[in-house]
Amino acid sequence: MYANNQTTVTYDYSWAPHHLGTWPIAYMLSQWQENMPIEETGNLLMMFAAIVQAQNDISFLYPEYWPLVQSWGEYLIEHLPDPGNQLCTDDFEGPTPHDANLAVKGIIGIDAIAYLNTFVGDASKATYFHNYAMEYAADWQHLANPNGTNHYALRYDKPGWSQKYNLVYQQILGLSTFPESVYSMEQIFYYTQLNTYGVPLDVRNTYTKLDWSYWIAATYPDQTDFNRWVNFLYDYANETPSRVPLSDFYYTTNGAQAGFQARTVVGGLWAKLAIGANK
C-alpha cells in the first residue's frame, strides 16, 4: 500500500522502498529513504514469487498491485546488467560501483517476475522478462570475469572477489537463471580464501556475515561441503571472544565481533531448508 501511494504520504520513486516508517505507521517520506534500488526491488519481487509458490495464490498482488509490480520489473531491466553506483545491503561498506553480487540479485529478480507472469497466465510477459534475465545472466558472466580467471569479481571494473551469496535465491525459487558452472566456480574458489572462522565477505576486509555465509553453504550440492562450512561457523559462535548475544558480523581471523548482535537476520541459518522446499 505504501509504495502504491495508498497511505498518507507520497512515495515517488520508481523502485521498491527500503523503509516504511516505524510500525505500525507507514509515514516515511521519499527523501528520508536509505535508497537501495536494485537491492530492494529484487528482494520484493523474489519474496512475492516465494509467497506465491508457498500459497499457490497471487490474490495479494493481482490485480490491485500488478501495475506497480510490473513497473519494478521494468526498473530492473532498465538498470541492469550493470547496476551502476548503488547502495546495497552491504551498506557498512558504502556504495560499491558495478557490484557483481548486487547484479545477481536484480537479474534473479527479473526471472522472479517472469515466474509471476507465468502464474497469472501472461505467457507473453513471462517470456519477455525471462529472456531479459537469461540475456543479463550471460552478460554478467563476462562482465564479472572478463579475463577468464577462477572466480567472479567483486565489481565489474576492478580485480577482486566477493561472496556471491545472492545466488541462493535462484535455488530457493527453483529457477535456472544462472548456470551451475557459476556456482561451482565460486564454490571452489571460496576455499582458497578460507580463514579460521570462515570466508570473508569480500577482498576488502577479513570480516564476514554469519547469515550470508550460511546462504553460501546452502548452495553447495554436496552435504560434506555444507557441513564443512557449518563447522567453521559453529566454531566461531562457540569460540568467539566477544561474549554477546549472537553476532552476525564478525572477523574470520579471530572470531571477534565486528558489529551487530541478536538480529533477526540469523533466520538465514535456515537457508538450506528453504532450498529444500523446491527439491
pLDDT, tens digit (0-9, with 9 covering 90-100), for 136-166: 999 999 999 999 999 999 999 999 999 999 9
What is the pLDDT, as a whole number, of residue 9?
85
d(CA 121, CA 130): 14
The answer as to whether 118 is a domain residue is no
The answer as to whether 109 is a domain residue is no
The answer as to whether 75 is a domain residue is no
What is the pLDDT, as a whole number, of residue 279?
56
| Residue 79 Cα to chain centre, angstroms | 16
The answer as to whether 206 is a domain residue is yes
What is the pLDDT, as a whole number, of residue 151?
98
The answer as to whether 256 is a domain residue is yes
The answer as to whether 27 is a domain residue is no
| Regions of the chain with pLDDT less than 50 | none
Across all residues in the chain, what is the average pLDDT? 94
What is the pLDDT, as a whole number, of residue 40?
95
What is the pLDDT, as a whole number, of residue 277?
62
Q: Please count the structural domains in the chain.
A: 1
Nearest to 146 by CA among 159, 133, 164: 159
Q: By the 8 A CB rule, do 104 and 143 touch?
A: no
The answer as to whether 150 is a domain residue is no
Does residue 241 have a cis peptide bond before it, meaning omega lies within 30 degrees of 0?
Answer: no
The answer as to whether 26 is a domain residue is no
What sections of the chain are H helices per DSSP?
Answer: 37-55, 66-79, 100-119, 123-143, 168-173, 180-190, 210-219, 223-239, 271-276
What is the pLDDT, as a whole number, of residue 278?
62
The model's pTM is 0.95
Q: Which residue has the cell 580485480?
A: 159
**CB-based contacts of 193, cutoff 8 Å, min separation 6:** 161, 199, 200
DSSP H or E stretch at residue 207: strand 207-209
What is the pLDDT, as a whole number, of residue 236?
98
What is the pLDDT, as a whole number, of residue 29?
82
Share of the chain above pLDDT 70, in %: 99
Domain that holds residue 215: 194-279
